[in-house]
Structure 1
Amino acid sequence: MLQESVKRDHYKAAMMEKLHSRTAVIGVIGLGYVGLPLAVEKAKAGYHVIGFDVQASKIDMVNQGVNYIGDIVDEDLRAMAQSGQLRATSDYAFLKEVDAVAICVPTPLDTYRQPDTSYVEQSAREVARFLHPGMLVVLESTTYPGTTEELVKPILESSGLTCGEDFFLAYSPERVDPGNRTFNTKNTPKVVGGVTDACSQVAEALYREVLDGSVHVVSSPAVAEMEKIYENTFRHINIALANEMAILCSRMGINVWDVIEAAQTKPYGFMAFYPGPGLGGHCIPIDPFYLTWKARKYNYHTRLIELAGEINHAMPEFVVQRIGEILNERKKPIHGSTVYLLGVAYKKDVDDYRESPVLEIIGLLEQRGARVWVSDTHIPSFKRQGKLCECVPLTSERLAAADITVITTDHSGFDYERIAASSAALFDTRNAMRELQKPERYYLL
């Protein structure tokens, strides 16, 4: 026992020194919306960083200093790549050179809405092949409570090394909010939970050296995993409440946006959430269902989460229903009408359309026989049901030709004055026109 303690303390001290002296080599597996910003920040902090990904296009772009993530400053990536501080590869053998590695791979749901941890498992197997004494492994992918200790730890220990003695393992959830101009990877507070105290201490030291935001250490990986799910479930449920209020206010002839604006004048006990055409992105529509799946193992039914999911999932149908009602007022059926959707991205000023509710709105409109046009200031083309769809340029002529224009994403780059002036009918699902002159034939969600 004493020998194990001495060995652990030796590895911990050596790792702490490498982190403090910036001699540690850091690996990041998965160079997407989470991994690439983290890799850039670690390189900017003075560490040599190796990024790992299975997509050759991403590897080539990183090595050439070409940015493909909106939240990264182009010059930062270019400078790190040109200086050699950051390089990318698909060869996991380079993990032999790495002192610490963060796993930032996708964790989607499968067709049965159960967690698909295959990317995490595969990454852990690759790390296990090249795991060496003193190495730090941090899982950042959003997942269900227990993943780090029940799934990742056994895979890593299959190498013959012991967690907490020979290597360090922790969970630290990503907190990426694409398009947020105030909080980013660098300044957002970080939560860390290690398998042992030594694991927590080493992981905490890494993030304190790299980030400006505070580091909050919790008692276990499971607490950190549950904390992340709680964050996103909180938003999931409150957005569902806002959406349900919007549906009810629509039927009652009440402006839901005015209601929310009035409610948030209360200085305590209220936080504003806003309705919209549905939930999108890779977090809020997906993460809460990791918890509902896990809860079944404990014979517990997460009724509130699942009800919120039903409400949010029904919003595209509600939007299409409102489009039909507006067209009906103008003595036009959906069938044969041209519906012009402004925005396919799931949120304002991003180029990400993963899980975007607009994709479902397009499908529902086409099922009803509508012709659908889409414009987006950030996305020139997108895939829906495996088919490549091209966005069209936004023109006054096209606005005038459409039977109804629908603001589905409130991008800053849209010319709302022209949209208001040229649209035959305008349906605003995002309250994008709140500070502008409202045109005649204007309808609000």
Structure 2
Amino acid sequence: MREKLVVVGQGYVGLPLAMRAVDAGFDVVGIDLDEWRVKRLNAAESYVEDVGDDLLAAAHRSGRYLASGDYADAEGFDICVITVPTPLREGVPDLRHIGSAGESIAPLVRRGATVVLESTTYPGTTEEYLRPLLEEGSGLQAPEDFFLGYSPERIDPGNPQWRLDNTPKVVSGLDGASLERIGAFYGRIVQEVVPVSSLQVAELCKLLENTFRHVNIALVNELSIFAQQLGIDVWEAIDAASTKPFGYMRFTPGPGVGGHCLPIDPSYLSWKVKRSLGHNFRFVELANDINDHMPDHVVHRLILGLNRRSKSIKGSRVLLLGLAYKKNAGDCRESPAIEVARALWKLGADVRAADPHVDDSLLPPGIEIVRPTGRELALADAVVILTDHDCFDYELVEQMGAFVFDTRNRCRGPNVERL
């Protein structure tokens, strides 16, 4: 008899997991409270880049996948994985989505069932927050009656090399039996499982991974500011340093950090340290300050560049290339490029933007979406490269842009200034 898996949340983490589980032979129910998502999923129309329509259609044809907004369809599950967002609200971790998922799934927890949290959160969440919700709603106790664990998601949307199946998966359990059960489940989904000794170690692992990236991006962002003022090409220095085969990892500057993780996850760790120990996590707070101000720095550099060309930012036509927060990612809501666009619009610039990956309904007012044609590039007083999508013709940008401000090191020429 096939096992029934419920995946709560069908976003960029939950949907790839659901598809892999179908391939592994599970009967999968993908729960999502967004009616638009459920409708599209059941029509085999994917909105997640890592899951193509053909893969979704194949899952439906197998008879082993159903998208639903009704928790009643989760009844009788053997394993439930929670992959819901964990945003910040006024600097404080917002666990309402985990709480809602836990309360909704709790009455359906049976003896011998397994619940795994994948949402990024602070150490202690699974045991101190989710466990009581599940126990109260089910009338059962963990680990005596059901298994409970945490496994941090490691999805990098749009990465063709490292996918869910070939990225090592850290797993943890409330006790040894939970760890064994959860390790066996993910062993059917991914190539390598990495067990750790406790839920808190696994929770800290995820925050460590993203904090590492966050502080190193802040380092090169601040370095880029000072290098430009010193008249040094920071990009050439980074290229040179990257030839060192040991003791160095390449990070590059940009207009800020965006997405669901980097701007948020380190703050979860900082909040936990402050709340539990009464200390400030100075590295994280400094990195937040640097990265949060990079959009302002980009706008400042653009204003200086236009001034050198006897132009005012007010009334200037500015074409932004790339609004999503990373290559080939479509979500621009957490993008520093949007902050740049808003700031330019408030300063009176005529803001146009090109990004084939974003839904223009998500954009703030005052931004006109255009195609980056030669004519559009030539009409712009300034072209700003904010996300280096591979679909852009950078040779054309170099040829037609009167002034190109490049935050991603894709262009060269006398008309190009780089971050």
TM tier relative to shorter chain: over 0.9
Structure 1: gaps (5+ residues): 1-17
Contact 1:277/1:408 (8 A) holds in 2: yes
Q: How big is each residue's C-alpha offset from its partner over 1:263-285, in whole Å with a ceiling of 9 and x where there is no partner? A: 11111111110100110000001
Letter in 1 for 2:383: T
1:84 is matched with 63
Contact 2:352/2:368 (8 A) holds in 1: no
2:194 is matched with 216
1:144 aligns with 2:118: no
Superposition map of 1:404-415 within 5 A:
404-415=382-393
2:322 is matched with 343
1:422 aligns with 2:393: no
Superposition map of 1:244-323 within 5 A:
244-297=222-275, 298-323=277-302
In 2, Cα distance between equivalents of 1:135 and 1:166 = 8
1:332 aligns with 2:311: yes
1:177 is matched with 156
1:232 is matched with 210
In 2, Cα distance between equivalents of 1:330 and 1:56 = 50
1:24 is matched with 3
1:6 is matched with none
Letter in 1 for 2:75: K
Contact 2:330/2:359 (8 A) holds in 1: no
Structure 2: gaps (5+ residues): none
Of residues 132, 136, 139, the one that matches 1:154 is 132
Shift in Å, 1:440 = 2.5
Contact 1:380/1:391 (8 A) holds in 2: no
Q: How big is each residue's C-alpha offset from its partner over 1:110-138, in whole Å with a ceiling of 9 and x where there is no partner? A: 1x111100000010001111111111000
In 1, Cα distance between equivalents of 2:351 and 2:362 = 15
2:165 is matched with 186
Of residues 395, 398, 409, the one that matches 2:376 is 398
Superposition map of 1:102-181 within 5 A:
102-110=81-89, 112-158=90-136, 159-181=138-160
1:15 is matched with none
Runs of 4 or more above 6 Å deviation = none
Contact 2:119/2:153 (8 A) holds in 1: yes
Q: Percent identity?
A: 46
Shift in Å, 1:390 = 4.9
In 2, Cα distance between equivalents of 1:156 and 1:389 = 45
In 2, Cα distance between equivalents of 1:206 and 1:431 = 43
Q: Return closer, same or farther for 1:389/1:42 CA change in 2, 3 Å cut-off.
A: farther
Greater shift, 365-374 or 239-248, is seen at 365-374
Q: Secondary structure at the match of 1:210?
A: coil
Q: How big is each residue's C-alpha offset from its partner over 1:218-272, in whole Å with a ceiling of 9 and x where there is no partner? A: 1111110000000000000000001011001111111111001111111111111
1:439 aligns with 2:417: no
Letter in 1 for 2:66: R
Matched pairs, number: 417
Q: How big is each residue's C-alpha offset from its partner over 1:398-436, in whole Å with a ceiling of 9 and x where there is no partner? A: 111110101111000001111111111111100123xxx
Q: Return closer, same or farther for 1:220/1:49 CA change in 2, 3 Å cut-off.
A: same
In 1, Cα distance between equivalents of 2:111 and 2:368 = 51
Aligned CA RMSD, in angstroms, stands at 1.2
Letter in 1 for 2:417: Y
Q: Return closer, same or farther for 1:89/1:118 CA change in 2, 3 Å cut-off.
A: same
Q: Return closer, same or farther for 1:390/1:100 CA change in 2, 3 Å cut-off.
A: farther
Letter in 1 for 2:241: A
Contact 1:382/1:389 (8 A) holds in 2: no
TM-score by length of 2: 0.97
Q: How big is each residue's C-alpha offset from its partner over 1:260-311, in whole Å with a ceiling of 9 and x where there is no partner? A: 1111111111111010011000000110001111111211110110001000
Shift in Å, 1:380 = 4.5
Q: Return closer, same or farther for 1:407/1:38 CA change in 2, 3 Å cut-off.
A: same
Contact 2:77/2:108 (8 A) holds in 1: no
Q: Secondary structure at the match of 1:97?
A: coil
1:378 aligns with 2:357: yes
Letter in 2 for 1:305: V
